[in-house]
């Protein structure tokens, strides 16, 4: 089962809810916004038996033990330590008799304006006992200490849609809905097939973005209105407003982005040197503009050094990846302008598959693709089929749904 930031909260009226935590220690709130969630509540008693406290790196084994047998795609085994160490995250666990029985994480995004509930897990032996509700309440109590907080946010999928009534009752409203497919992909020993190569007369220009590239895109408000009409990104179950401060969460050792341009003259490169490595690029008609030239690679490059990105970006794909018990997990979130041609998604898919090959050579990979209305499901399935990807994983998540509410002071 694919991990989601918020697992199903039962709204059954006969459920035994555990009361909201009653006490918080009086540690003062830190002034640094990057640590805005590391406030007073270091240890809080929910009842005489259950205690909620901050999670630490030493809780790794206990938190991983919460994952179900079918949670082979869960990111916690690979990324728990990095997430716990991030100053924008406040991870916490519920313990019973010293045993960790639940885990969740609150994140401060959008310069502290948004508090996000993520990664909620409850051990299967302790479900339907109100533990998750206690974690949910704790999240809201924690968030109330964020001085700039305006919004609360969380994400579910269509598989947890039964909880939508409870979310609506709590003041949450759906703000973004993205369609998705989860496929099984065996990385080949050679580069992805050339089926569906770009039109040589009107070739697709593709570039791996750096942080400074993405910063310039975010600063181009006219482009963002067209490319991200909902005013935010919704990647890997988390919503990000189009703020420069969120870029560090999108460009990490396990995540990044690619952009394509219809006009090969559209991309004007930065001379800052802040560019990803040029490794494992597919030898195709795609133009990868990373500066310089490689006569043996079969790839064309542009060398204009006027330090800006033109507004004619046609498509951007963001990825997140990590190793799992299954092999590898790779999410691909596509955003495009209306009317973009199929060849753009073909080019992006080939580049992402090449990225998968370099990261998970010879392994089976769970490929999770999400897309908006500018990229049809028919286009996505057709391009996947061209690359020999047709096996759907069990327990499909057809929709990812982002819920948000105005914060209650």
Residue whose C-alpha is closest to residue 269's, from 255, 283, 259: 259
Predicted local distance difference test score (pLDDT) of residue 301 = 36
The list of the chain residues with pLDDT below 50 reads 1-46, 195-196, 264-308
If residue 176 lies in a helix (H) or strand (E), which one and from where to where?
strand 173-186
DSSP labels for 182-199?
EEEEEPPSSPPP-TTPPP
pLDDT at site 385: 98
What is the per-residue pLDDT across 279-313, written as a single tens digit (0 to 9) for each? Answer: 332 333 333 333 333 333 333 333 343 344 666 89
pLDDT of res. 69: 81
The predicted structure's pLDDT at residue 188: 85
- Pick the closest to residue 8 from 137, 141, 165 (CA basis): 165
- Return d(Cα 298, Cα 285) in angstroms, integer: 8
Query: Please, are residues 356 and 323 in contact by the beta-carbon 8 Å criterion?
Result: no
- H or E stretch at 218: helix 211-219
Q: For residue 336, what are the β-bridge partners?
A: 315
- Read off the pLDDT of residues 36-86 as tens digits, 9 standing for 90 and up: 333 333 344 445 588 999 999 999 999 999 998 878 899 999 999 999 999
Report pTM: 0.78
Of 130, 123, 6, 5, the C-alpha closest to 62 is: 123
- Residue 194 has a pLDDT of 59
What dihedral do alpha carbons 29, 31, 32, 33 form, nearest 10°?
70
Angstrom distances, CA of residue 29 to CA of 33, 140, 145, 395: 10, 16, 7, 42
* Alpha-carbon separation of residue 315 from 38, 190, 285, 338 (angstroms): 37, 26, 17, 10
Q: Which domains does the chain have, with CATH numbers?
A: 33-149 (3.40.630.30), 180-402 (3.40.630.30)
């Amino acid at each position: 089962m694919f991990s989601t930031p918020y697992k199903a909260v039962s709204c059954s009226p006969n459920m035994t809810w555990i009361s909201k935590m009653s006490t918080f220690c009086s540690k003062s709130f830190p002034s640094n916004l990057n640590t805005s969630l590391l406030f007073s509540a270091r240890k809080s008693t929910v009842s005489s038996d259950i205690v909620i406290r901050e999670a630490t790196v030493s809780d790794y084994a206990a938190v991983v033990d919460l994952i179900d047998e079918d949670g082979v795609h869960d990111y916690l085994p690979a990324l728990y330590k990095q997430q716990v160490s991030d100053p924008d995250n406040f991870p916490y666990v519920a313990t019973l008799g010293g045993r960790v029985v639940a885990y969740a994480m609150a994140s401060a995004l959008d310069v502290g304006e948004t508090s996000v509930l993520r990664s909620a897990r409850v051990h299967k032996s302790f479900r339907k006992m109100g533990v998750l509700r206690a974690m949910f309440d704790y999240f809201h109590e924690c968030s109330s200490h964020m001085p700039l907080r305006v919004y609360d946010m969380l994400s579910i999928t269509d598989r947890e849609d039964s909880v939508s009534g409870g979310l609506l009752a709590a003041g949450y409203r759906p703000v973004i809905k993205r369609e998705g497919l989860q496929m099984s992909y065996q990385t080949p020993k050679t580069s992805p097939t050339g089926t569906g190569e770009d039109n040589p007369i009107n070739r697709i220009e593709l570039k791996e973005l750096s942080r400074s590239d993405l910063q310039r895109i975010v600063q181009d408000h006219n482009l963002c209105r067209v490319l991200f009409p909902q005013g935010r990104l919704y990647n890997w179950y988390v919503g990000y407003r189009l703020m420069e401060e969120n870029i560090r969460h999108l460009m990490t050792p396990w995540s990044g982005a690619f952009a394509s341009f219809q006009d090969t003259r559209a991309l004007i490169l930065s001379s800052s040197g802040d560019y990803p490595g040029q490794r494992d690029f597919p030898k195709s008609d795609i133009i990868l503009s990373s500066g310089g030239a490689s006569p043996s690679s079969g790839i064309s490059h542009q060398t204009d050094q006027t330090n800006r990105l033109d507004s004619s970006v046609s498509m951007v794909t963001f990825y997140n990846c990590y190793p799992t018990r299954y092999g590898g997990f790779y999410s691909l979130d596509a955003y495009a302008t209306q009317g973009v041609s199929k060849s753009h998604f073909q080019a992006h898919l080939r580049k992402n598959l090449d990225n998968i090959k370099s990261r998970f050579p010879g392994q089976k990979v769970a490929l999770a693709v999400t897309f908006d209305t500018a990229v049809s499901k028919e286009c996505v399935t057709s391009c996947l089929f061209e690359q020999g990807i047709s096996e759907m994983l069990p327990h499909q998540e057809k929709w990812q749904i982002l819920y948000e509410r105005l914060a209650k002071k």
